[in-house]
A and B are shown apart, each in its own frame.
Chain A
């Protein structure tokens, strides 16, 4: 097996930090597409690599070799370590499959209980479901048609214009089918542990995207910012007074909600366009290499099979 097969397994370690860095410098919509695309492509290449490593080992099984008329001695000579590697790759593939299955089951369970809930709530059939719950919560429930689910507590916490911004925000989620982005990132994370780090920035940029759409719909960034801030404070679980809070909160510890509010209130910080180009090029190179090496390794395995077949056939002719 050639070295190319390892690239898709190692490159996420470089590509994921690059994508996270780049996302911060891009407008929300572009950032969301970039993050989701990166996750899917890297996940595909990593899974293909594991598959190739496992297949290479599968060829060593006497039954498989006999079925494909492959020369086992030739295969052992060309890559002696393929057996243990393949076992490890097969284990990894198994855990990827298990993680995928777990995510899918959880998605289905959460969605179906959320749908039952929205169904039992009062609301307009084609848009809004209001839950008679005093705690503040709101989310977009994907489906045909999608619905906005919001609690009475949330509606009471907001003013007239802010309610309008909240509804516009959730409509933007449904209209742009943001749940597909979230699902893509969630499933991609099963393929490689590094890809888990793309989920939080993706969900942040999807919220920013919907915030911007809401600000455009209600015609005010300030109203949208206030809606987000008020909603978050209303939704925050009551906590005991913090005793050990640091005097000044470092920016890195600032959670997604204050960052969204700040982005609405003071839009357009200076873009470091030079660095942005460098990181974008680096990320593009990582993605191209990932896809390219996966394809390269596939054709290499194909060639190996053909060579092993002719090596298996050759002694019969010579005798």
Chain B
């Protein structure tokens, strides 16, 4: 059967996306929920396989809900503390984006207003 050439993504990318979806949800997700919370058309079985693999590694926890499993990310107790400690450490540095390429930098009040306008208008007026 001829299929559209869907670019195959490496399994590491899929695992990352599934884990990100679990964290974003903030509640236990069944494989069916996860399937809807990731991009692309992943087969149910693919999602189940990825979740199984993450569970084996101890990255996610699962509980039985009815006939299916529901998954949540496993949180290390020390990680939250370490995150806060590093944040205060980094906040002390005068300009902190020297080593790590951060996704977003600080905003001025005007930047913030501009971004809210751009988000409200998806067509993107020539504001900048």
Contacts and interface: CB of A to CB of B under 8 A. Distances in A.
Interface in B94-112: 97-112
Tell me what chain A mostly uses at the interface: helix, strand, loop, or mixed: helix
B12 A233 contact: no
Given A164-B39, A235-B103, A257-B105, 6 more contacts: A123-B59, A155-B20, A228-B104, A253-B108, A255-B108, A258-B127
Given A255-B108, A258-B114, A262-B118, A160 B39 contact: yes
B23 interface: yes
B57 A178 contact: no
Interface string A121-157: 1111111101111010111110000001011101110
A258 B108 CA distance: 10
B86 A113 contact: yes
A167 B102 CA distance: 12
B89 interface: yes
A107 to B, nearest CB: 5
A179 B100 CA distance: 7
Nearest to A236: B107
B124 A225 contact: yes
Interface stretch (A9-17, A57-65, A80-88, A202-210): A202-210
Nearest to A229: B115
A230 interface: yes
B59 A124 contact: yes
A254 B126 CA distance: 13
A38 to B, nearest CB: 18
Tell me what chain B mostly uses at the interface: helix, strand, loop, or mixed: helix
A114 interface: yes
Interface stretch (A19-27, A168-176, A310-318): A168-176
B21 to A, nearest CB: 7
Interface of B: 12-13, 15-17, 19-21, 23-24, 26, 37-39, 54, 57, 59, 73-76, 78-80, 82-84, 86-87, 89-90, 93, 97-116, 118-119, 122, 124, 126-128
Given A127-B12, A140-B100, A141-B100, A164 B17 contact: yes
B33 to A, nearest CB: 12
Contacts of A103: 98
A156 B23 contact: yes
A226 interface: yes
Contact of A163 (B24, B57, B59, B101): B24
A166 B16 CA distance: 11
Contacts of B26: 156
Contact of B54 (A116, A124, A255): A124
Contacts of A199: 98
